[in-house]
Structure 1
Amino acid sequence: MRDLPVDQVLTLLAVVDEGTFDAAAAALHLTPSAVSQRIKALEQRTGRVLVTRTKPVRPTDSGRIVVRFARRLAALQRDTQRELGIADEAAPAHLSIAVNADSLATWFLPALTRLPQDPPIFVDLHRQDEDHTATLLREGRVMAAVTSSSEPVAGCTVRPLGAARYLPCATPDFIARHLTGAPLPDRLPDAPVIVFDRTDDLQDTFVRSLCSRAACRDRHHIPTSEGYRDAVAAGLGWGLLPEPHATPLLAAGVVANLTPGRWVDVPLYWQQWKLDVPALALVADRIADAAAAALHH
């Protein structure tokens, strides 16, 4: 079996993270030509194309395997230096984390404000639907993720965070126009609906729990958590709002709960690599504390 040279592997990681060969060269204090030569040498050694030469550069399926290895290698390298006492103790830690938009817009960021700043910890957040954040872990693009999957990704640990609660809401005017004159299960499937993006099936699942149909195909796609809230509050359609977003709107009478006493709970989990990375362990504890206070258990 051919060894994978450390300098070439870490250069591939820099290219993928920075997005271009030129940016990776600047980050590594190399020339773009040297970066290109290292990537070509690694591809020759593995016998596989590892990246697509696009902007930004993207790893191929084979490249993702090497990137996953490279990210773990970089973390182990930093940890070994720390244990040997040869690490720069003032050097900041950089952690890549995947998180879903609703968590990011409600309870996740306050946890990061409680992190110590000496030395600082910097995070590179990847916003992704909670059903798909585990994929980023599997591909090695992140070190940890808030995910809806309780099944640990290979090489990762998992711990439950709690459940994010969603309430079906619409404005009184919208309800009067679209949801009166018949039982809700009869009217809701034909009412305009707001979804986050084309992978969001939460509204469809909720409607199927009331009847045998999915949500209306007439739908708005609003791919930000705050924009989604504002679209429901503006009466563009009905939608499932995170409880922290729904509560003030309900109290002000801007929206009404379509099914009082009935909601959708989405279990969330924290998955991270099985590596002794002190900064990652510290972030995990802060995230767990914030989730304990904000989510349902």
Structure 2
Amino acid sequence: MQRFTLDQLETLRALIEDGTFEKAARRLHITASAVSQRVKAMEQTSGRVLVQRTTPVRLTDAGAVVLRYARQVDLLAADTERALLAGGAADRPTLISLAVNADSLATWFLGALAPVAADLRVTFDLHREDQEHTISLLRSGAVMAAVTSTRESIQGCVTEPLGVMRYRAVATPDFVARWLPHGAATPSKTLAAALSEAPVVTFDRNDDLQDAFLRANAGRPGAAPRHLIPTSHDFARAVLLGLGWGVLPEQQCLAEIDAGTLVELAAAHPVDVPLYWQRWNLSSPLLDAVSAAVRDQALRTLRPLTA
């Protein structure tokens, strides 16, 4: 198979990032017909269909493989430029695309990126997704690395443990008084049974943490009214306002528990979510620096991950 040209790889990246042939053409300062011709040439070279001509365009499985290659070439080019400049400033910032779950993004992850952005000329493209689903973005080539709950490395990637993000079931004192007549110190099975009928706050329809807490303590998920609050900060605020009970990261509720504005439910039964860092198995000083920063920040803020 012949190799793709740099122009072709850049065209595929632009097409997927911008979504249409017309927008990619404007970015590349060529015609939409030229974008289409380059993609067709890539498909002839590979012998595979790379994109579905929808609006926006969508990658095929083969296209995801080529997109990951295109992004890797771009990253290696940036590393090479920096090495040749011997510490000097690059002509343009390097875009680093990462996937991270909402709670990590709201609590500890940005603290890892700030020093990297300050020390190296990089910009970040963060994709927010549940920790169970960030791996799909890595597999598709959309991101270079991901915070994930998946321990097994996908093809072309390596994995290292970050730590455990501990969640605690909490509610306001008024909520407890109204919905839990025996109080928060009730035996866990009785408490969980009562909670299964009480209003609950969930992040979105993929959020399973509240149901996981109920299954662990009552043996079944709840059937109560659910408030869907799809941002981490507002999710925590909804619980603080008494809309329902919810499972919050320690970083978002320990101070409130100490202050008495939140009451912990079933304190002996927190929900622990192990987190891992999966990244391209590629020798890249830039990606190495990002990975080291994430690893160090996780070590400072997450609980140790035991075997």
Q: Give the aligned partner of residue 16 of structure 1.
A: 16
Q: Percent identity?
A: 50
Q: Give the aligned partner of residue 98 of structure 2.
A: 97
Tell me which amino acid in the other structure corresponds to 2:126: L
Confirm or deny that 1:260 pairs with 2:260.
Answer: no
Q: Give the aligned partner of residue 273 of structure 1.
A: 280
What is the TM-score normalised by the length of structure 2?
Answer: 0.88
Aligned residues: 297
Determine which of 196, 200, 203 is the counterpart of 1:193. Answer: 200
CA distance in 1, matches of 2:88, 2:293: 24
Where do residues 278-297 of structure 1 align in structure 2 (5 Å cutoff)? 278-297=285-304
CA offset digits 1:212-236 (Å, max 9, x no partner):
2112342111111011101111111
CA offset digits 1:174-196 (Å, max 9, x no partner):
11222224731331222221111
Q: Give the aligned partner of residue 223 of structure 1.
A: 230
> Against the structure 1 CA distance between its residues 64 and 285, is the aligned structure 2 distance closer, same or farther, given a 3 Å change threshold?
same
What is the TM-score normalised by the length of structure 1?
Answer: 0.91
> Against the structure 1 CA distance between its residues 49 and 249, is the aligned structure 2 distance closer, same or farther, given a 3 Å change threshold?
same
> Against the structure 1 CA distance between its residues 160 and 273, is the aligned structure 2 distance closer, same or farther, given a 3 Å change threshold?
same
CA distance in 2, matches of 1:30, 1:76: 25
Q: Give the aligned partner of residue 62 of structure 1.
A: 62
For structure 1, which segment, 184-193 or 161-170, has the greater mean C-alpha deviation from structure 2 after superposition? 184-193
Where do residues 35-46 of structure 1 align in structure 2 (5 Å cutoff)? 35-46=35-46
State the shift of 1:109 in Å. 0.8
Contact 2:89 2:121 in 1 (8 A): no
CA distance in 2, matches of 1:119, 1:234: 41
Contact 1:90 1:118 in 2 (8 A): no
CA distance in 2, matches of 1:156, 1:201: 27
Determine helix, strand or coil for the equivalent of 1:114: helix
Confirm or deny that 1:76 pairs with 2:76.
Answer: yes
For structure 1, which segment, 157-166 or 17-26, has the greater mean C-alpha deviation from structure 2 after superposition? 17-26
CA offset digits 1:104-161 (Å, max 9, x no partner):
0001111211125364111100001011111111111100111111111211111111
Contact 2:117 2:123 in 1 (8 A): no
CA distance in 2, matches of 1:137, 1:121: 19
CA offset digits 1:56-96 (Å, max 9, x no partner):
33323332222122222322344455556699852322110
State the shift of 1:241 in Å. 0.5
Contact 1:79 1:276 in 2 (8 A): no
> Against the structure 1 CA distance between its residues 77 and 179, is the aligned structure 2 distance closer, same or farther, given a 3 Å change threshold?
same
> Against the structure 1 CA distance between its residues 185 and 66, is the aligned structure 2 distance closer, same or farther, given a 3 Å change threshold?
same
> Against the structure 1 CA distance between its residues 260 and 3, is the aligned structure 2 distance closer, same or farther, given a 3 Å change threshold?
same
CA distance in 2, matches of 1:222, 1:118: 35
State the shift of 1:44 in Å. 4.0
Tell me which amino acid in the other structure corresponds to 1:248: A
CA distance in 2, matches of 1:55, 1:234: 41
> Against the structure 1 CA distance between its residues 193 and 25, is the aligned structure 2 distance closer, same or farther, given a 3 Å change threshold?
same
CA distance in 2, matches of 1:90, 1:6: 19
Contact 1:95 1:143 in 2 (8 A): yes
Q: Give the aligned partner of residue 211 of structure 1.
A: 218
Tell me which amino acid in the other structure corresponds to 1:267: P
CA offset digits 1:36-68 (Å, max 9, x no partner):
221233234445443234443332333222212
List alignment gaps of at least 5 residues for structure 1: none
For structure 1, which segment, 131-140 or 82-91, has the greater mean C-alpha deviation from structure 2 after superposition? 82-91
Where do residues 164-203 of structure 1 align in structure 2 (5 Å cutoff)? 164-181=165-182, 183-203=190-210
Tell me which amino acid in the other structure corresponds to 1:162: G
Contact 1:90 1:119 in 2 (8 A): no
Tell me which amino acid in the other structure corresponds to 2:27: A
CA distance in 2, matches of 1:210, 1:264: 11
Contact 2:97 2:144 in 1 (8 A): yes
For structure 1, which segment, 14-23 or 101-110, has the greater mean C-alpha deviation from structure 2 after superposition? 14-23
